[in-house]
Chains A and B, each alone.
Chain A
Amino acid sequence: MYKGQSGMWSWLFHRITGIAILIFLFIHIVDISLLSFGPAIYNDGIAFFDSIIARLLSLGLIVAILYHAFNGVRIICIDFWRKGARYQKVMFTIVLVATVIIFIPFAYFVLKPAFIPTVAWFFTLPTMAHTAP
């Protein structure tokens, strides 16, 4: 195992997230092409995105996209900014922090529609026990 430092890991994760996003893009182009088959079929396909597993996978995709985008900007800074190479490690820390920080509001919006029904369901549990008239 090559003992590269943050530079190696930043490159490796850029590559991994890139492939992950590309594979998602293939699936996405196909599912949007269902539009050509009319509302019933398209809406059936979209219904999958309401499930909790799809929402969790979407969060994974969003993390991949955010990291790939921010690290891409870091790469551009390294290539086109005179002092870029000197600050590459600092920029990598910024990339990781920015990924986490920007991810949090996205996670909120993606999980909220599924979260509220789930939380509400928990609160109905005590009342379910008392069914005597």
Chain B
Amino acid sequence: MLNLSKFYGGARPQGGGFETFSWYYFRISGIILFVLVIVHLLVMHVTTDVACTTYAFVAGRYANPLWRLFDWMLLTIALTHGMNGLRVMIDDYVRKPRTRIVLLSTAATLLLAFFMLGTITLITFQPVAGAQQTQTCVNQAR
């Protein structure tokens, strides 16, 4: 239910249910992601060349648990933002009820699976002793 006349900025989904939450969640998570993704791109491509983001580089970052937290926030918020978008697309294009159930279940399963895989990687990572910089790497961190 869109109430077009009363609102200062524009129309808002009014129902108060999951769709209203989803509408706000896209925008709030989008703002947070704007910051997280820009920092992530700068660290991975600008301050260090991507070929130099080796095991040793990651071990150095993950020695600080705040970087693990940063990456986990990026994982969670990006996954939920994206899968919510996928859910909206499935709702837009798929009419048959059974196909909808199959695709929406697949999307939910993918969300769970990738979230678990990413979380386990971030939590359990312990650098192997003796991990050296084995590749020729021209652009080290400046």
A24 to B56, CA, bound (A): 24
The number of residues on chain B lying at the interface, defined by a beta carbon within 8 Å of a beta carbon of chain A, is 44
Taking Cβ atoms with an 8 Å cutoff, the residues of B that contact A are 8-10, 27, 30-31, 33-34, 37-38, 41, 45-46, 49-51, 53-56, 58, 75, 78-79, 82-83, 85-86, 89, 110, 114, 117-118, 120-121, 124-125, 128, 131-132, 134-135, 138-139
Binding site secondary structure of chain A: helix
Contact of A129 with B by CB under 8 A: no
Residue of A nearest to B12 (CB): A79
A38 to B126, CA, bound (A): 9
Q: Among A49, A80, A84, which residue has its beta carbon within 8 angstroms of that of B50?
A: A49
Kindly identify, within residues 6 to 22 of chain A, every residue whose CB is under 8 Å from any CB belonging to chain B.
Answer: 15, 18-19, 21-22
Kindly identify, within residues 30 to 65 of chain A, every residue whose CB is under 8 Å from any CB belonging to chain B.
Answer: 30, 32-33, 35-36, 38-39, 42-43, 46-47, 49-50, 55, 58, 62, 65
Binding site secondary structure of chain B: helix
The number of residues on chain A lying at the interface, defined by a beta carbon within 8 Å of a beta carbon of chain B, is 43
Q: A35-B125, A39-B131, A58-B45 are in contact. List 14 more A-B contacts (CB 8 A).
A: A15-B85, A29-B117, A33-B117, A35-B58, A39-B54, A39-B134, A42-B58, A43-B134, A50-B50, A65-B37, A69-B30, A69-B38, A76-B30, A106-B41
